[in-house]
Amino acid sequence: MTFDYKRRVLGYADQISVQPGDQIGFKISLEEHEAFDFKAVRVVCGVETPAGAPYKEVEIETDADGSHAGRFQRIDAGSYAVVPRAPALDWLTSFTFQAYVMPTLPGDGRQALMSRGSGPKKPGFAVVLDGDGALSLMVGNGEELVTVSTGVPMLAWKWAFVSASYDAETGEVELWQEPDERYVGADSFAHVYGQAPKGISFAAEHDLHIAAWQVGWHEDGRPRMAGLFNGRIDSPRLASKVVICHEMSKMARANPVKAEWIVGAWDFSQDIPTSTFPDVSGNNFHGRLVNLPTRAVSGYHWDSSCHDWTVNPGHYGAVHFHDDDLYDAGWETTVTMTVPDGLKSGIYAARCMAGKDECYIPFYVRPAPGAKKAKIAFLGSTATYMAYSNNHWQTDEEKAEVKRGRIVAYTGDELFLNERRDLGLSTYDTHRDGSGAIYSSRLRPIVLNFNVKSIIWSFNADTHVTDWMEAQDFDFDVVTDEEIHYEGVSALADYNVIVTGAHPEYWTTEMWDALTAYFDGGGRMMYLGGNGFYWRIAYHPEHPGTAIEIRRAESGARFWASLPGEYHQSFNGELGGLWKRIGRPPQSLVGIGTFATGFDRCGWFVKEPGVEDNPRAAWVFDGIDEEIIGDFGVLGNGAAGIELDGVDESLGSPPDTIVLARSEGHSAYYMQSPDEIVFNHAAVTGDANPRVRADMIYYTLPSGAGVFATGSISWSASLGHNGYDNNVSRLTGNVLKAFERDDPLP
């Protein structure tokens, strides 16, 4: 018997948050099918949990219901740069390309540095690293293609100056490959001559490309790219003559780079927050980047004297290209749906079914403009979903089983993603060259972590909260962090209480400031998770809401680390990393912050001694006689686990914070978060370290604001236990009833 884990229906939406009357486009790809049935559903509980809440969806009627024709849609992963074709480029005959280059996967197939051409049977050239990683020049006249190589592989992760020239009068090719002088004894210098056909003109139907070459066109009109480069390129230059080796490189730091024979001089240190880059030659051959290669990375001129690209951009004149970068899959819209008027705010999904194959594409519906709002708003943590989207940690992480304390059992989605690497990476993954995936986008099919019927993490864990609120007859709207980022406190101001899901981990400065303003105005929050408000991120200024950036700087629970000098975000120039490290610990926002993590089993909470005698706190435990709370649940069999947050006044927890309960029962596989440890010592594990715990807390502020927090990711997965009849459910309900009311809090 074989396990069929293939997904033959894939899709994504052009928006993640809409209002009644809006249109939302769905982009669907089919394999082995020619049509699919479309139906919109309200997602009540997103995943089946036999010991907890069952999967629930409710169909709704829309103008898009019914059968739709579909086809396979391709994904072209890999980043590169484009300089649009122009007459001056068509006049090019003799030329010289020069740049500083740091290959990160030399020898991993042929990789282009710069190219121009119209295909294998038309004139063109490509400066490449050959299959062995040696600098080469490919020149073709439409009849024959000649390749000249230095024959000397370049060094991985080391800078080198490269120069490749072609003399149209003689057909002579010259290659110069010079490792940087910092690499003493580096045996990769080469200087060779070769011969190619004379008199080639490089007029072409194609644009000029950096880090790839174009080999034709797809049927949908998009370019077919090949030879994608892995590594960094700094100061690429193109001349219309044969240039003496360092004649052009000496001009590399001049701005503008002026000479009548300079065709283009591209400066990646300018316009870093954007997807464009200027030509500083005065010829205006400005370019654009495709699929978000990494910017604000240290370049050839970086000498460790500056660690902030906004202070000295000249040290950050490189772009890091990867053959597995992906921003926008670029699929055509297959179905357009108008969100029905009067549709209740909530979590929804497009259900696309073809035979036994299905695909769900989640989206949020917030209240219509001017509509009456509920007093409760559930927070959809879309930035966190994007950060985790399609992660490969179980298949790629070296110590996955050690960390979890068990043999890893792969889901079908994880096996599928292991094969379909073209679907893009999460910010927990590394690129093929080992560098961290700094960016993540939602304009692609997301199989894992933002998908109905996927694992109980991120999105599906959050639906356990909304399912519980619906089962308990709480009226609520949804608001996403994307609205908070772009609209500020106005996105929250009408609500008495904001309820989070299990893991609102990724937060922008704009979100942080909006939530602070909400508390200043008397707003209340129930933070029903752990490891929240942990990493500082940014949204791309040109692509609102569709791409995020994370720099994993200095410390924190992380699967890769940013390189020195690369801690500042390219999208906005802010210092990235942990909110704690920039002076805003989560404790200063919501009273608790990350203490520890563990992934084998979960513990439970025990009431703090005397807490039921405290008139400010006793109401939380109405109807709860048990001392132990949450020794059950569908995540690790307990309500206290996975990632744990605690109180620390030195980090900003309000002095009058009431600790209602503390967690117990954590195994030796639970350890303090790396940012908690300033020196290694023996007692770092959960069975011996009192710092490995979750604190359930409650406090109020002079503004009338109040915060209740559980400090545990697994809390939400215990709400549905025993048909919602349990002490986790009762306690959460007691708090939400009090926070929902207009009356002052105790």
Going by their DSSP bridges, the two strands 262-265 and 231-239 should be labelled as: antiparallel
Which pLDDT score is estimated for 118?
A: 63
Three-class SS of 284-339: CCCEEEECCCEEEECCCCCCCCCCCCCCCHHHHCEEEECCCCCCECCCCCCEEEEC
Q: pLDDT over 90 for what percent of the chain?
A: 82
Mean pLDDT, rounded, for 261-278: 96
Which ranges in the chain are annotated with CATH 2.60.120.200? 80-321
Q: Distance (Å, rounded) from C-alpha 234 to C-alpha 159?
A: 9
Report how far residue 672's alpha carbon sits from residue 691's, in angstroms, rounded to the nearest whole number. 7
d(CA 252, CA 141) in angstroms, rounded, equals 30
pTM for this model (two decimals): 0.96
Q: What percent of the chain has pLDDT over 70?
A: 97
Task: Give the mean model confidence (pLDDT) for residues 152-181.
Answer: 95
| Domain 9-75+332-365 class, CATH top level | mainly beta
Q: pLDDT by residue (tens digit) across 279-298? A: 999 999 999 999 999 999 99
Q: What are phi and psi of 422, to 5 degrees?
A: -70, -10
Give the mean pLDDT of the chain: 94
Q: For residue 374, give the amino acid letter.
A: A
* Residues 70, 36 contacting (CB under 8 angstroms): yes
* In the predicted structure, residue 632 carries a pLDDT above the cut 90: yes
In angstroms, the Cα distances linking 651 to 504, 583, 587, 595 are 19, 9, 6, 12
For the chain, give me the number of helices (H) and strands (E)? 10, 44
Tell me: pLDDT of 9 over 70. Answer: yes
Distance CA 645, CA 505 (A): 12
Q: What confidence tens digit (pLDDT) does each residue in 709-730 have? A: 999 999 999 999 999 999 999 9
How much is the pLDDT for 2?
Answer: 66
Mean pLDDT to the nearest integer, 374-380? 98
Q: Which one has a higher pLDDT value, 141 or 694? A: 694
Q: What is the predicted pLDDT for the residue at 738?
A: 98
- DSSP letters along 44-110, please? EE-S--TTSPPPEEEEE--TT-EEEE----------EEEE---HHHHT--SEEEEEEEEESSTTSS-
**pLDDT reported for residue 398:** 73
Task: Round to whole Å and give the CA distance between 250 and 73.
Answer: 46
Predicted pLDDT at 436: 97
The pLDDT, as a whole number, for residue 405 is 74
pLDDT of 653 strictly over 90: yes
Q: Per-residue pLDDT for 157 more than 60?
A: yes
Q: Which CATH architecture has domain 80-321?
A: Sandwich (2.60)
Radius of gyration of the chain (CA): 28
- Look at residue 186 in the predicted model and tell me its pLDDT: 63
- One-letter amino acid at 556 equals G
Looking at the chain, which residues constitute the CATH 2.60.40 domain(s)?
A: 9-75+332-365
Nearest to 356 by CA among 621, 4, 720: 4
Q: Which residues contact 408 (CB under 8 A, 6 or more apart)?
A: 394, 400, 401
CA angle at 412 for the pair 561 and 466, rounded to the nearest 5°: 80
| The pLDDT of residue 165 | 97
Q: What is the pLDDT of residue 254?
A: 55
Between 47 and 26, the higher pLDDT residue: 26
> Which one is predicted more confidently, 172 or 685?
172
What would the mean pLDDT of 152-160 be, rounded to a whole number? 96
State residue 721's pLDDT score: 95
Quote the pLDDT of residue 202. Answer: 87
Q: What is the mean pLDDT of residues 210-238?
A: 94
Q: What distance, in Å, lies between the first and last C-alpha atoms of the chain? A: 60
Using CA atoms, how far residue 305 sits from 161, 302, 573, in Å, is 22, 8, 17
Asked if 443 contacts 329 with a C-beta cutoff of 8 angstroms, the reply is yes
Q: Looking at residue 251, what is its pLDDT?
A: 57
Name the pLDDT band for 502 (thresholds 50, 70, 90).
Answer: very high
At position 292, the amino acid (one-letter code) is L
Lowest-confidence segment of 91-95, 410-414, 463-467, 584-588 by average pLDDT:
410-414
Which residues have a Cβ under 8 Å from the Cβ of 259 and sit 6 or more positions away?
239, 251
Give the integer Cα–Cα distance in Å for 500 and 523. Answer: 14
Say what the alpha-carbon torsion angle 13, 14, 19, 22 is, to the nearest 10 degrees. Answer: -110
Query: Is residue 119 over pLDDT 70?
Result: no
- pLDDT tens digit string along 552-610? 998 898 989 999 999 999 999 999 999 999 999 999 999 999 999 999 999 999 999 99
- Confidence at residue 37, expressed as pLDDT on a 0 to 100 scale: 98
CA distance 21 to 19: 6
